[in-house]
Structure formats: structure tokens, C-alpha cells
Structure 1
Amino acid sequence: MEYGKKLEYKGEEALKEIEKLTSKADEVQNMILKEILTQNVETEYMKRYMKGSKDVSEFKRCIPVITYKNIYPYIRRISNGEDSSLITGRPIIEMLCSSGTSGGDPKLMPSIEEDLDRRTFLYNLITPIMNQYVHGLDEGKAMFLYFVKVEMSTPCGLPARTVLTSYYKSKHFKCRTRDPYNDFTSPDQAILCIDSNQSMYCQLLAGLVHRHQVMRLGAVFASAFLRAISFLERKWIQLSNDIRSGHLDLMITDPGCRSSMMSILSTPNPSLADEIEEICSRSSWKGILCQLWPKAKYIEAVVTGSMAQYIPSLEYYSEGKLPLVCTMYASSECYFGVNLKPLSHPDDVAFTLLPNMGYFEFIPLGENGTLFMDIDEEKEVPMDKLVDLVDVRVGCYYELVITTFAGLYRYRIGDVLQVTGFHNRAPQFRFICRRNVVLSIDIDKTNEEDLHKSITKAKKLLEPYNALLLEYTSYADASTVPGHYVLYWEIQHVYSAIPLDANVLEDCCIAVEEQLDYVYRRCRAYDKSVGPLEIRVVEPGTFEALMDLCISQGSSINQYKTPRCIKSNAALKLLNSHVTASFFSPRDPIWIP
């Protein structure tokens, strides 16, 4: 029996399909793995380990658990023009850009035509799920702020782009069902504009024009939605002037944006402009979202994992009146599942993994979560230690491992999850973190090793001035928009107590940024979704005081190590109380698309 093959499930039919899939999760998983093996049995990669076998037990016995470095040689060969049959039995149509690597290049994930079908299948489940909890969504519009990112090409000409850019440019998005639930305020041409400022301007303008019809607000990530609010704070006068006059600001030069906005700004609307000006000119923007869009029922955005740091800001701008909704769990490598209780508090969000999206296995990380940060990405994982989807245990922590139709086999995603329960036979997971990631503002993900390498490079700039970096830690500061990385440095002056010239510390800032990965540098230099890195110099003895604080809160003096990223409010307060000077990166890091 085939499951989840039809794309456009609607209403009760979609909910029944979820029940069918989750009730027979083990059967569906077994079917998916058999399909993958049958489709890809003749590939070079599979022949290397399976010798032509399609047997499931042989797969589990012979296929190793891998990381990106293991599959990269095959991806590089395909990117250079060799046939897709190196890893998959279907043509690879594009490479999806995932997180950067320590070498500075983005990870490229193979994608086949059928992957777009699977993603669309998952998207089409969201509205039926939401309709169970929020009524009347078909009576208005959705102001979802979506953006594409700059594209590249592999040497052989395959598109290399983010998974969302791929989806927004696909026929599945452009030709999506024209029903009331897909009635967005943003024109497709504005979404597809690669100039993020022009795209943002037009999408916000369209949202303001339709302010009394907007039922839903959102963006993919919480960080992007807050950037939109910050943009609105700077541009609301121009936006209201456009509405008053019925003419689009001349700063919008993109032909697609201008043409798509002509029908939206068809006539002058002074009364609407007056409403917007009255609201936006108030001294406080607390609750501004409810005031500008009074019919909005919720905000849809990712607020789990590193995005949780933006929850207080979102609650401030909505005055806590709009639920924060996370609808699905997905990555560049694979789309995984949905949130069947979308109105849950962000702390309680759990995603039900749908067994038809790929083949899922799990590396056990213990029952209390204390082990997961010690799992070395480079350490070989015994093949017989992996747990199947239906065999995970409630309360336990796992690292997700996937096998896909597009050529990833027992691939470690790097996500740490905790099982919170089951829906029928399908487990539900709480996203804990990305393994080893210590800093993240937007889609950037910096791990401890890359941070250490960057600081090691930068601290050499202190040596000519007889200064040494004694200790450091970091913090992802989301209190401003865009957020930025903060480094706390305790510096020892060998022969003199004279403070270093500001230019030296600014050079250190840019030296750190230049060593961070491709995605960070893209977020800084192109997307502008991450602000300039900051170094805060602290007084001598600050890190001893930090150790004393941690020990007083239960850390062992014998096992204490300086935390490389600060999460504790008390620790941040201590560090900030000892700051003597602050320096920012003076320019964008070099970024080449």
C-alpha cells in the first residue's frame, strides 16, 4: 500500500491521511526504505556497501553512519558534472545550500524532482491542522513575509540555492491552489525579488493596504519577522505616503515589484494612511501588531531552538495577545513532520515525524540529555546502535539520522531531539538544539570549534602590542535588530597597562568574522540579517568571578570549564558589569556568492 503520494489533501481528507500514516508508522517506514533501496541499488555508493542487495537487514548491517565529509566527495563529483547515479537513481535537479562548513563553503545537499512533491505534501497539511484550532482563516488574508536568497551554480551548471528559494521558485508555489487559505497579501513578484530591501518594502506595503483583512501574520523565522518590524519603524512614513498618494516610492526599481504593486496601489487612500500614521507615530510600539492588523489571530514563525531568544520581543510587539505558532519541522536535507497542536506554548512545541518523508533512525544520547554535547561528530557510530522511528522511548534524547531518495544514507543531521510522546505509532519530538552550535542569530550556526579557530586567528593581532588574550566567551545578542555576536575578552598587557588602540580591537572583530563560515558571512554581508560582531573587553579577574558564580550555582570546581557561550542571565549581568570598552567590526566580511 502506498502512503502520502497525493499532494493536495484538504480538510478532513488531510487529517485522515495523517492518522493513516501515523497509525502504521512502522509499515510506512519499512516501505520507504525498500523504495529507496530499489531506486538507488545501482548507484556507485550503494554498490560499494550493498553489492546489489535490496535487503533491509543488509542495509542496517552494512551502510555506515556518516557526516557531510563522507558524502562530500560524491557531491563534489556531481557538482563538477558527473552523473547523478553516483548516489541516486533519479536525476539531481539542484543542490540545496545548507549551513556553511569550517572550510568556508556551504554544504550542498542533493535534491531530486520528487523532493518538491514531498515538501508540498507537508505544506498542504498545515491549513487543515490549523483549522481545527483557529476558525475563520478563509475570511481574510495572510501577511506572510517570504524572501528568496541569492543563487549560485555548481561548475556543471546545477542551481545551488536554499531550500526555501527553491520552493518559492517552483511550480508548486507559483501554481499553488488558489483557495482562500492561500490568499497572501504579498504578490509573488515581491517575494521573488532578490533585493531584500525592495522585497520587504513592497510586502509590508501590501500588508498595510490590506490591514483590515489580515488574519495571519508571519515569516519563516522569528528573526525575519522582527527584521520586518524594525524595517517598518524606519519606513512607515514613506509607506503611508505611498498609500496616501496611490503611487509607489521611486526607490522601488525592480520591474516585478513595480508592476505587481500597481493594482494594489490603484487609487489614493488618505483615510487608510491617516490610520497607519496615527498608530505608528505613538510613543510606544508595544502591541503595534494588534493595532495595525486588528483581525490577526496568530503569528506563524519558527520560535524553537535558537529562535527562542526572540520570543520576548514578539510578545512585546503583540502585547502577548497573539499565539506564536510553529507549524512544521524541516531542513535542507529533508522535511520531517508537523506540529499537531500548533497553539502550544513555544516551550511545549512537539513535532510529529511523518514516516513517509524519508527513512529515520536515531542515535541514543541518554535519558537526561547530559550526554549529547559530548557526542563527537567525527567519532564513528556503531551501526547496530541506531534505533528505528517507532522504537524511540519517551523522555529520551536522540540525534536524528536520515536516509533519503536523493542520495543521503544514514546521514547525521546534527539535530538533538527529545521524545515527548506518540501520536498513534509515530513519535513526537521536542527540538533541543543543533549539536555543538553555540551561536546563532538567523540561519547562521557557529559551533565551538569554528569559534575557537576564528578567535585563535584574531588574537594574533594582539601580539605586536604585547597583549595576550587570557580568556573569552560569547553571547548571541538578540536585543537589537538585527542581532549580533558578542565576544567577551579578558586581555592581559604584558609590559604596560595602556589600553589598546581602538583600531586594533576593530581589526580583531573583522578577523574573527573573516574566519567564520560562509553562511555567517552571507548573513552579514548580503542578507544583513546579522549585525557587526562586537568585542567587549572586560576587567582583569572577570573570568575568575564567572567561575565563582558558576560554582556557586552548582558547577564542580574540579570539572569547571569556561562556557564558550553564555545562556545564564546572571552570568551575562556579571560579564556586562565588568565591561571596560566595546568595539564593533568596522566593515562587512568578504563574501563571494
Structure 2
Amino acid sequence: MESAAGAESNGEHEIIGWFEDVSENTGYVQTQTLCRILELNSGVEYLKKWLGDINVQEMEASALESLYTSLVPLASHADLETYIQRIADGDTSPILTNQPITTLSLSSGTTEGRQKYVPFTRHSSQTTLQIFQLAAAYRSRVYPITPGRRILEFIYSSKQFKTKGGLIAGTATTHYFASEEFKIKQEKTKSFTCSPEEVISSGDYKQSTYCHLLLGLHFHDEVEFITSTFAYSIVQAFRAFEELWRNICSDIREGIVSSRISLPKVRKAVSDIISPNPGLASWIEASCKELEDKDWFGLIPKLWPNAKYVYSIMTGSMQPYLKKLRHYAGDLPLVSADYGSTESWIGANIDPSSPPENVTFAVIPTFSYFEFIPLYRHNQNCSSSIDDFIEDEPVPLSQVKIGQEYEIVLTTFTGLYRYRLGDVVEVAGFHKGTPKLNFICRRKLILTVNIDKNTEKDLQSVVEVGSQLLGKTKAELVDFTSHADLVKQPGHYIIYWEIKGEADDKVLSECCNEMDACFVDQGYIVSRKTHSIGPLELCIVERGTFKKILDHFIGKGAALSQFKTPRCTADEVLLRILNVCTIKRFHSTAYG
């Protein structure tokens, strides 16, 4: 009889073999994927508007692909919003899909500044399970997992609610955690999450985090890797651990859940797992006292000695947390998780040994129909803003070129047609015939006063350089955001920092000047020299300010699993929090 380990190996071999096959001939696979999407949704209102009464089943595949891309226009979320809102309000006619849409994903709202609905169907959960299994199979080649071991997962559901039309709405992660596919993952993967469903879906991220940590330590010698959707969640959890470890030790010693866990279902679920363990509590206590003296460097391998790696999304807006994550991880490898969005999964990390800064994502050509808008810089010799790029006509996945930058366009099984995702990627290479993408940034400008154009990536680069000066002190950057202040004239940028530790005013003033001088956008430089943009302002906010921002978004329905600190905000509530919590202000003298 075949062993469980052998069966799992066969499963991994099968899914990798499947991916190798679909990657071999991506042009054909993509054409068939588009045909399948159009056949499933033939005659829906949105497509009928552009394709009329064309019978897609009778058309030859390549001709249908050409017709579709020539007649259906590129669209943004704003172009589809009225259709999606009708669905949310209870219109059951075939608007975007022939399959009834009963669930809507709610984005976190941290990227665009407001939450938006995106259709979510069984296909969404199925592709999530598929990409998780594929990525796990590639990871197991580098970091083999022992059957029956556990995963310390910092995962969180948020509350689902019903729209005016009775549809279930919530975050994509919440829908997935409630799906049959998640149950399949929990039952059939080699490792099991440390926390029961009651902890994951508690609705109180602080209580969930405490229980994740408590149970993770209860099973400390069984944990094979540490994971969360975003790197932010892992860093947030271990920052909390620095404050909570004594309470957790007490719970483990006594086998009784702390009174800070007030939710009855969560208390019972955790109480049913833990039992008094004075020996483990003493070991954790001694380890934590040692770690405190090292500023918690190497926390993860010290407390979870059998962990092989840390796994999470670490690209884009998560990159600022890499330094702190590496501090906690010590010599343990950081493995970047896969590339997707609320709208669709895009690519898998099939090279898990690559450091997060160099990670690429191999596009999975069966998940959606992909097009790519080529982007060309006006001036190849300067680091111009993304919105200074010239666009060319979209090309199919099979025609992208190495070294070229593109914006991704999606046609999905869930009713999004030629949808501009807003992500800018570079083609770094190919796996068989499918491109391997390097995520560059979100295309949306976040800082602009007049002719200046700066993206999230530009801001992150500036903050990284400025915060390096904190190395002169015992302070470190916890988190940051920004605001383009147009009320005071001339308009200027404000960057808000929360720091841990002490930094004297002279160093912080240097940080402010350094950041102002480091923006490379020519529009900004010229505007600063002519004083049509005022001096950059650095605001230091009190400790805990960014937790208040997190609580604000959680209160609006976001889940911690998909939370991303907004890197620029015009939200009046957030600005009120930031300004009330500001304890120091510095103004740049970089341009005199």
C-alpha cells in the first residue's frame, strides 16, 4: 500500500507536470482560455454591448480572440462599477456572467483610498487552492516538509455582510477561508495550521493574534514554517509578541487562556487544545529574556527551532517590512509568496530559493486571459514616473519581451473584461513559454502637487534612504505614510514616520533633508528649485499611531490578512489621526 508521503509526492509531481504542460504552449492555452470565458458568458449584457449577437461557439478560436481584442475596449474598475453595483443591489439578469454571482469581494481600500466590489465565484476559490498547491510543490523541492507537522499561520477572516440585494460581501481572504477549497487545503496538505477555525474567524484581530502566538508556541517543535498573506501581518504579530510574551508564558504554564481573550467560542477552542506545560513555559521565558538582550534578533528560529522558512507576500508595498522581518528571522530564509490581486491570481513563485528582492512570478495561463500594455519611458536616461510612460497597443501573453515593462490587463472567468489592473511589471525571463514577471509598482500616482509625479515605489526609495540615517541612533522606522498638502501654498509633501526608540532632532532634521533631496522626478526637482513646491515636511507621530490606522480600516470591514498601510492618504479621518498624534515636525532646507 502506498504511503501517505508517497501519495503526497505523486500529487506534487502531478501538479508540477500540469503546469509544465500548460507553460509549454501558452499562446494556444491562452486562446482556449479566452474562448472558454466567452463561451461561458456568451450573451451577457456587457459583452453584448460590444460584440452584439455574434455566436462565439461557431467562431474559430484565433478569429474570436482577434475579434474580442478589437471590439471590446480596455476598462477600469470605474467602467464596470455600475454593472457590479446593479448585481450588488439584486439584479439577477446576466449582466457580467451567465453564472449567478452570489458573492462579492471587498478590497481593503488601502490602495485606491476606498473599498470596491469585485465579483467572487467558485472559480476564485478553486484557483486559490490550485496556486497554493502548485507553489507548495515547488517549495517542497527546496524545503521538504515532514508529513504531519504544522504551520504557524497568521491568518484572519473579517465579518461578511449582505448587500442591498442579499449578496454575501467580504474580503477575498474571508471568502476563501470559508470555502470548501480551504477545508481541502487543511485536510490534504502535509502540514496543518496551528489555529482552529474559531481563532481565524474571531473578527477581533488582536485576540486572534494572541491565540495564533499562543498555539504556535504550544506546537513550537512541530512548526515547519511561518506564514501570512502579507509580511506586514507577521511583523505586526511579532511586535505584539514583544509586549505579550509574559502573558503567553503564564497561559502555557497554567494551561488556562488569558482573560484578554473574551470571545467565548475562541476561549473554548483554545482551551480544548492547550494544557499545563511548566517546562515549555520556563524554556520560552528563558529564551525571551535572551532575545530581549539581542533586540529580538533571530526570534523565529529560536522559538521555532524546526521552522525551515518564512513565507509571505514581500513585494511591492510589503518591501519596507523586509528589514524587520529579516531581523526576526535571523538566518532563516524568507520566501516570497505568489502574485495575485482581488481580481485574479496571476503567477506563482517557482524559484523559492530566490531572495524576495529578486523574486519573479511565472504566469499561470489558465487562470485568466492576460494582455500586456507596453510602457516606454520618455527619457531612458532618467528615472521618470510611471505616468510619464508612453503606452503602446496591448500584446498577448505569448508576445511579451524580456526587459520590457508592461501594465497587466485581465479578462477573468468572474466577469471582468479587458480590465486594467494598474500593476506595472517587467518580464524577467520565461519558464517554458510563460513569462516570469518582476513586480515593479502600482501605476497610480500617489504624490503630486503640480508637474511632479511620484509613485509608491518612488516614495519607498526616498524613505529607505532617509531612514538609513536612523542608524546613527538607537531608533528604527516602524511605518510611514504621506500626504500632498495643497491647502498651504505652495503645496508640499508631508511624510509621517512612526519610530521605535530615540532619535535626536538633529538626526531627524537630516533625515528630512535627505528625503527631500532624494526624489529623482524632474518635475519635483524643478518645482522645488523654483519654490513652486514647498519644503518637504517630516512629521514624527507617537508610538501606536499606525495601529490606530489599522483599527480604522478593520472597522470599515478590512481583514488584517490583506491590510496594507496606505502609503499616501487624503482621507480626512486618517489625516486627523496622524496630525493629532504628531509630536515633532521638521521642514527641509535641502533647496535653501
TM class, shorter-length: 0.7 to 0.9
**C-alpha distance in 2 between matches for 1:189 and 1:311:** 30
**C-alpha distance in 1 between matches for 2:262 and 2:102:** 32
Is 2:307 the partner of 1:296?
Answer: yes
Partner of 1:328: 338
| Higher alpha-carbon deviation: 93-102 or 207-216 | 93-102
What's the secondary structure of 1:218's corresponding residue? strand
The residue correspondences of 1:418-433 to structure 2 (distance < 5 A) are: 418-433=426-441
Q: What is the deviation of 1:436?
A: 2.1
Is 2:255 the partner of 1:242?
Answer: no
Partner of 1:50: 51
Is 2:87 the partner of 1:78?
Answer: yes
Partner of 2:394: 386
In the alignment, is the contact (CA less than 8 A) between 1:420 and 1:428 conserved in 2? yes
| Higher alpha-carbon deviation: 115-124 or 554-563 | 554-563
Inter-CA distance 175–25: structure 2 relative to 1 (3 Å threshold): same
In the alignment, is the contact (CA less than 8 A) between 2:448 and 2:484 conserved in 1? no
2:417 to 409, 413, 426: 409
Partner of 1:276: 284
**C-alpha distance in 2 between matches for 1:158 and 1:175:** 24
Is 2:386 the partner of 1:373?
Answer: yes
Q: What are the Cα deviations for residues 502-523 of structure 1, in whole angstroms up to 9, with x where unaligned?
A: xxxxxx99xx99xxxxxxxxxx
Is 2:312 the partner of 1:311?
Answer: no
What's the secondary structure of 1:212's corresponding residue? helix
What's the secondary structure of 1:420's corresponding residue? strand
Q: What is the deviation of 1:127?
A: 1.9
In the alignment, is the contact (CA less than 8 A) between 1:153 and 1:160 conserved in 2? yes
**C-alpha distance in 1 between matches for 2:516 and 2:137:** 52
In the alignment, is the contact (CA less than 8 A) between 1:252 and 1:258 conserved in 2? yes
Partner of 2:365: 355
Q: What is the deviation of 1:366?
A: 2.5
What's the secondary structure of 1:315's corresponding residue? helix
Q: What are the Cα deviations for residues 521-568 of structure 1, in whole angstroms up to 9, with x where unaligned?
A: xxxxxxxxx99xxxx9999x99996799459xx8769963459xxxxx
Q: What is the deviation of 1:492?
A: 8.4
In the alignment, is the contact (CA less than 8 A) between 2:149 and 2:191 conserved in 1? no
Partner of 1:570: none
What's the secondary structure of 1:52's corresponding residue? coil
Partner of 2:297: 286
Partner of 2:133: 124
Inter-CA distance 544–262: structure 2 relative to 1 (3 Å threshold): closer
| Higher alpha-carbon deviation: 76-85 or 271-280 | 76-85
Q: What is the deviation of 1:485?
A: 2.1
Q: What are the Cα deviations for residues 35-75 of structure 1, in whole angstroms up to 9, with x where unaligned?
A: 11111121111110001222222111100001111001101
Is 2:163 the partner of 1:154?
Answer: yes
| Higher alpha-carbon deviation: 269-278 or 174-183 | 174-183
> Which amino acid is the alignment partner of residue 416 of structure 2?
L
Inter-CA distance 303–346: structure 2 relative to 1 (3 Å threshold): same
Partner of 1:345: 355
> Which amino acid is the alignment partner of residue 137 of structure 2?
P
Inter-CA distance 562–106: structure 2 relative to 1 (3 Å threshold): farther
In the alignment, is the contact (CA less than 8 A) between 1:95 and 1:161 conserved in 2? yes
What's the secondary structure of 1:365's corresponding residue? strand
In the alignment, is the contact (CA less than 8 A) between 2:348 and 2:363 conserved in 1? yes
- Coordinate RMSD, CA, aligned: 4.0
Q: What are the Cα deviations for residues 333-362 of structure 1, in whole angstroms up to 9, with x where unaligned?
A: 001120110110112100000000000000
Partner of 1:20: 21
In the alignment, is the contact (CA less than 8 A) between 2:411 and 2:418 conserved in 1? yes
What's the secondary structure of 1:313's corresponding residue? helix
Partner of 1:10: 11
Inter-CA distance 315–61: structure 2 relative to 1 (3 Å threshold): same
> Which amino acid is the alignment partner of residue 257 of structure 2?
L
The residue correspondences of 1:362-511 to structure 2 (distance < 5 A) are: 362-366=372-376, 373-374=386-387, 385-436=393-444, 438=446, 483-486=479-482
> Which amino acid is the alignment partner of residue 284 of structure 2?
I
In the alignment, is the contact (CA less than 8 A) between 1:361 and 1:388 conserved in 2? yes
> Which amino acid is the alignment partner of residue 342 of structure 2?
S
Q: What are the Cα deviations for residues 240-293 of structure 1, in whole angstroms up to 9, with x where unaligned?
A: 101000111122122331222123213x10000001111112322111111111
Inter-CA distance 107–9: structure 2 relative to 1 (3 Å threshold): farther
2:216 to 196, 207, 220: 207
Inter-CA distance 183–557: structure 2 relative to 1 (3 Å threshold): closer
In the alignment, is the contact (CA less than 8 A) between 1:9 and 1:124 conserved in 2? no
Inter-CA distance 538–294: structure 2 relative to 1 (3 Å threshold): closer
In the alignment, is the contact (CA less than 8 A) between 2:387 and 2:445 conserved in 1? no
TM-score of the aligned structures, taking structure 1 as reference length? 0.75
Q: What is the deviation of 1:487?
A: 5.6
Partner of 1:464: none
In the alignment, is the contact (CA less than 8 A) between 1:9 and 1:125 conserved in 2? no
Q: What are the Cα deviations for residues 74-95 of structure 1, in whole angstroms up to 9, with x where unaligned?
A: 0111111112511111111211
Q: What is the deviation of 1:176?
A: 3.1
Q: What are the Cα deviations for residues 374-408 of structure 1, in whole angstroms up to 9, with x where unaligned?
A: 169xx9x77xx111001000000000000011110
**C-alpha distance in 2 between matches for 1:583 and 1:179:** 46
Q: Which runs of 5+ in 2 are unaligned?
A: 1-8, 57-63, 453-460, 468-474, 530-534, 558-592
> Which amino acid is the alignment partner of residue 234 of structure 2?
F
What's the secondary structure of 2:481's corresponding residue? strand
Q: What is the deviation of 1:372?
A: 6.2
> Which amino acid is the alignment partner of residue 387 of structure 1?
V
Partner of 1:521: none
Inter-CA distance 102–261: structure 2 relative to 1 (3 Å threshold): closer
1:170 to 179, 182, 190: 179
TM-score of the aligned structures, taking structure 2 as reference length? 0.75
In the alignment, is the contact (CA less than 8 A) between 1:337 and 1:354 conserved in 2? yes
In the alignment, is the contact (CA less than 8 A) between 2:314 and 2:337 conserved in 1? no
Q: Report how many residues are paired.
A: 501
| Higher alpha-carbon deviation: 475-484 or 387-396 | 475-484
> Which amino acid is the alignment partner of residue 43 of structure 2?
E
The residue correspondences of 1:546-561 to structure 2 (distance < 5 A) are: 549=517, 560-561=526-527
Inter-CA distance 91–185: structure 2 relative to 1 (3 Å threshold): same
Q: Which runs of 5+ in 1 are unaligned?
A: 1-7, 439-446, 453-472, 495-507, 514-529, 564-573
